[in-house]
Amino acid sequence: MNRRFPRLIPILLLGMLSLAGCSLAPEYVRPEMEMPEAWTMPADDALDVLWWQRFQDTRLDALVEEALYNNRDIAQAIARVDFARARLGLARADQFPPLGVMGNATRVHSSLRSYPPAMPGRELNTSLSGNLGISSWEIDLWGKYASLTGAARAQLLASEATRDGVWLSVAGETAKGYFLLRSYDLQESIAAGTLKTREEAFTIYAARYEQGLIDELDLLRVKTEVEIARNTLFGARLGRDAAEGALATLIGRSPRAIMTEGVIERGSELDTMPTIPVFPAALPSDLLERRPDIRASEAALIGANFNIGAARAAFFPSISLTGLLGYASTELDTLFTGNARTWQFGGSLYLPLDFWRTQSNLYGTEAQQREAVAFYEKTVQNAFRDMRNALSQQTQYADMVRSLEIMVHDLDKAVDLAKTRYDNGYSAYLEVLDAQRSLFSSQLELATARSNHLASIVNVCVALGGGWK
């Protein structure tokens, strides 16, 4: 019987494994929310995963790719995914016996004058052993470790979804940063052109003043408009430099490049980029599957469900096993002989009696699960708010650009007419200044509106969760 017992150890272990129960976590059901039945606009084609290519600017494409490769926020998100994957591996390992190989060798010289004294000629002793064993393994009878593994798996899914969200956000911010930079470029160009025109006009009117054809008030008005254009030029350059530095940081360039080489390559002009609107291509509920933030919050909710299962399992008794199978001898040449075989098998039972502590832990995990439900529902609400705002901005900015284009065209004609009237003595120079001031302001507004219109298209792409084709 004793000889057979070591052979029974694996059988006993397998039997204990078969007793391990399923998780006590509550069955997960996605929280029900009242969803809109359909979008109120015509559906677009499926949005390409590389959605930024719809703007047909190779420099923008290159910047987004550089950002996705070098951005430090993405690097952190990837590291968090790797960490979550490692935690899942540890959680899985807890479900299986922790096997280990142990070896031991000792050589002891005993004193002949100690008590009891060593036998003469036997004062030097050697002990050798080699074992395969289980240090301590708790059988997962109530699904505690199965629940913890499920929670770790959900955390991995959440971290992957968060990584996708960072990836999407970086791509969107890069595109919007590029459009902002091109807007400042355009404003700088407009201000520089206006400044040149006004400086030339000031030279002419200064000569007229010297000839006594205009009074000092008209000359001072012309000079003021020169300084307004100059100040606007400085402001555009300031905004351009700030946008360039922000974009260089976003795409992950080195500190030296940011400080000394911080020039972002330009591509297409704002008014040449396609502004084809983006509309949802499927049912509103598809956002629940596409948006990374919703996927991350739902994974966190699933993990909270599993934590309840682990907390429930703590109410029940736990059984832990230890085992050892190997050889022991005083001589190396007899270590692996049949007579040197040794084994050890044991178990322990733990029955928790501090129910108040266990109950408090369960209350805590249930509260965390309710918090996760509320956070998931809020994330869904925010997603549809973002979608509504993005679609509205896309439409309104398009209308704004069209209106400003008409305004700039008409004001350009108004400036020519005002100059003609003034040159022929039909009006005061103040009329010319008012027309020029209105034209200059409208041109700057149009440059900003073009950037905002392109950014609104980006916002729709991001609100939809990026591409899926």
Q: Give me the DSSP letters along 243-272.
A: HHHHHHHHTT--HHHHHHS--PPP-S-GGG
Tens of pLDDT, residue by residue over 73-129, are 999 999 999 999 999 998 888 888 777 777 777 877 766 666 666 666 666 777 777
In sequence order, the 6+-apart residues with CB closer than 8 A to the CB of 164 are: 292, 295, 466
Query: What does the alpha-carbon distance between residue 406 and residue 414 come to, in Å, rounded to a whole number?
Result: 12
- pTM, rounded to two decimals: 0.83
pLDDT for the residue numbered 392: 93
Half-sphere exposure at residue 147, Cβ-oriented, CA atoms within 13 angstroms: 25
pLDDT for the residue numbered 335: 67
Distance, CA of 427 to chain centre: 61
| Average pLDDT of the chain to the nearest whole number | 84
Let me know: does 86 contact 103? Beta carbons within 8 Å: no
Structure tokens at 434: 């008012």
- The full set of domains in the chain, from first to last, is 5-95+140-316+352-463 (1.20.1600.10)
Query: What does the alpha-carbon distance between residue 317 and residue 184 come to, in Å, rounded to a whole number?
Result: 69
Closest CA to 67 of 246, 306, 281, 308: 246
Positions in the chain short of pLDDT 50: 1, 5-6, 9
**Which contacts (CB < 8 Å, 24+ apart) does range 423-429 have?**
429/214, 429/218, 429/221, 429/222
Let me know: does 258 contact 249? Beta carbons within 8 Å: yes
Query: What does the alpha-carbon distance between residue 23 and residue 307 come to, in Å, rounded to a whole number?
Result: 10
Distances (CA, A) of 96 to 35, 90, 306, 318, 353: 44, 11, 19, 15, 26
Tens of pLDDT, residue by residue over 28-59, are 888 888 888 776 655 555 677 889 999 999 99
